[in-house]
Chain A
Amino acid sequence: MGRITLDKVTKSFGDVNVIPPLDLTINDGEFVVFVGPSGCGKSTLLRLIAGLEDVSSGQIRIDGEDATNLPPAKRKLAMVFQSYALYPHMSVRKNIAFPMKMAGVPEDEQKRRIEGAAKALNLTDYLDRRPGQLSGGQRQRVAIGRAIVREPSAFLFDEPLSNLDAALRVNMRLEISELHNQLKTTMIYVTHDQVEAMTMADKIVVLRAGHIEQVGSPLELYREPRNKFVAGFIGSPKMNFIEGPVAAQQGAHTIGIRPEHITASASDGMWSGIVGVAEHLGSDTFLHIHETGLAETMTVRVNGEFNLRHGDKVFLTPEMDKLHKFDAKGLRI
């Protein structure tokens, strides 16, 4: 079981209010991602749940029980840190065994769980090495192994992939998702990378300055962002925003249209502009278009073999039913 409820939780450091009153429910077995720009309070929120920081007011309940004042060890949560936080003087085996040793798990049970975790995480050959002798990806897996063997009611991940290179990051993303499918345990995952959020989450919590901007499934956030901030943050490349008369025509202060919802043509269309940089990714091409009279630069996703060059004139047509409209305060209309 791993149902976590935050009830009017606040956190201040001195005079600085990092988390204003915040309510959130995380259901058992859910993969929840906290995402937002750096400094939005997402890590603090995770540490409040972990018990590594004390809440200033409010209540945290785990499986219905008040855990607000429980020390971290008593909350039955496991955490994977950004720096992995492996114990450098212990072998991989001892690192993984450490939480069980602290909990007084019998030796043979420890052994069984270590072997199980090592097998699942491809660490069997490395059990007697020290963390210093492992690659970044392997260290990451040891940290996950150390979390798994505790059989926690929820896993907490604090930007676990940010120290890995791009290729490894994609692999580990898949491994963690796979792990979640196997264990079906609640996972709370903090990241600033919206791609990780979109690909892994059952439920995304978008945070800005300690406030929850929106909670929803990845597709809900993509289709119906509650405001301009969420609209700009979720989706890659970023949504185009257009203000002024064109927006007013639609009865909005700002309209937003995603790059993938615009059709480009060499001959005709609703808007026109000049092609700037074209980024060819093979399957797709991202065109950066200037002099549209709408916004400084418009980004358009076209299919991979689109043949327009730098400086060519281009015509754009948005899919009108995919337009997002926002009022002067940036809220969705």
Chain B
Amino acid sequence: MARAVTTQRKIINTAAAWAVGLAIFFPILWTILTSFKTEAQAIADPPLFLGFDWTLENYSVVMERSDYAKYLWNSIIIAGGSTLLGIIIAVPAAWSMAFVPSKRTKDILMWMLSTKMLPAVGVLYPIYLLFIKLGILDSKIGLVIVLMLINLPIIVWMLYTYFKEIPGEILEAARMDGATLKEEVIYILTPMAIPGIASTILLNVILAWNEAFWTLNLTAAKAAPLTAFIASYSSPEGLFYAKLSAASTMAIAPILILGWFSQKQLVSGLTFGAVK
């Protein structure tokens, strides 16, 4: 594996990779930079990259004017709540599938995955109608339930994959060592499963945070999360670049940071273990 690479080759690689990386990242960088400009500087011709007066004004304006805190709170409740609820339901299911597999375990897993493939738009009206009937249209609890359901297959799959990786011999060793089932769960299984559960939570918070079909269609003023808040900037405020940028930065910053921690889990989580 380790082969001497000429320094020249390495410099070329580095330059090329950084150039491409920065190009891909540029829209985000540009948004962050613009959020610190005044509106005039934001549309200056030629565009200003760094030579402008940094200001935090946009952030305070956005927060005052648009009740940002309410949307943020809705996002946190919806993403966090749906993930937590999903985990509570999925842990026992994934657990039993991993440790007490039966002939049908595989079929059940595949079937769960297939529910994820149901196009949202195909069932939009029934859900809409049910929400009205149940009185949970434009409510946080309604979205928590829907997002929990659409992410449940991913949660079960990810947890199943992690639990499966706990070697059976370790559990047998614990039994030989005299651990009862309860002690086995407390001292061996839970500590070993926690990293997997944490990654699953992380990835699903991200997915729920960014979900933009149900959150747009099932909410109005009351339960709208950040996805809807940003969509409402479409016009005419969208032309105030600095404020749009400040709002956008605030909407994506928390998840961007979380996301960078979850890179590794992302691959196996989103491909249902088909690529590791």
Q: Which A residues lie at the B interface, using CB under 8 A?
A: 50, 52, 71-73, 77-79, 81-83, 85-89, 98-99, 102-103, 146, 150
Contact = CB atoms under 8 A, between A and B. Distances in A.
B172 A85 contact: yes
Contacts of B188: 87
Interface string B183-204: 1000110011000000000000
A85 B169 contact: yes
A37 to B, nearest CB: 22
B170 A52 contact: no
B191 A103 contact: no
Contact of A99 (B172, B178, B180, B192): B178
Given A52-B175, A78-B176, A102-B178, A83 B167 contact: yes
Nearest to B171: A85
21 contacts: A50-B172, A52-B176, A71-B175, A72-B172, A72-B176, A73-B176, A79-B172, A81-B172, A82-B169, A83-B169, A85-B172, A85-B173, A87-B174, A88-B192, A98-B174, A98-B177, A99-B176, A99-B177, A102-B177, A103-B178, A150-B177
Nearest to A47: B172
Given A72-B176, A86-B173, A102-B178, 13 more contacts: A50-B172, A52-B172, A52-B175, A72-B172, A77-B176, A79-B173, A81-B172, A85-B173, A87-B192, A88-B192, A89-B191, A102-B177, A150-B177
Nearest to B177: A99
B43 interface: no
Contacts of A88: 170, 192
Contact of B176 (A79, A82, A83): A79
A185 to B, nearest CB: 15
A73 B175 contact: yes
B167 A98 contact: no
Contacts of B183: 102
A150 B172 CA distance: 16
A73 to B, nearest CB: 4
A150 B180 CA distance: 16
Interface of B: 167, 169-170, 172-180, 183, 187-188, 191-192
B167 A85 contact: yes
Contacts of B191: 89
Contacts of A99: 176-178
A106 to B, nearest CB: 16
B179 to A, nearest CB: 5
A50 B177 contact: no
A147 B191 CA distance: 22
Given A83-B169, A102-B183, A50 B176 contact: yes
Nearest to A82: B169
Contacts of B179: 73, 98, 102
A1 B98 CA distance: 38
A89 B192 contact: yes
A165 to B, nearest CB: 20
Nearest to A75: B176
A85 B175 contact: no
Nearest to B167: A83
B170 A87 contact: yes
B175 to A, nearest CB: 5
A106 B179 CA distance: 17
A77 to B, nearest CB: 7
A99 B176 CA distance: 8
B178 A85 contact: no
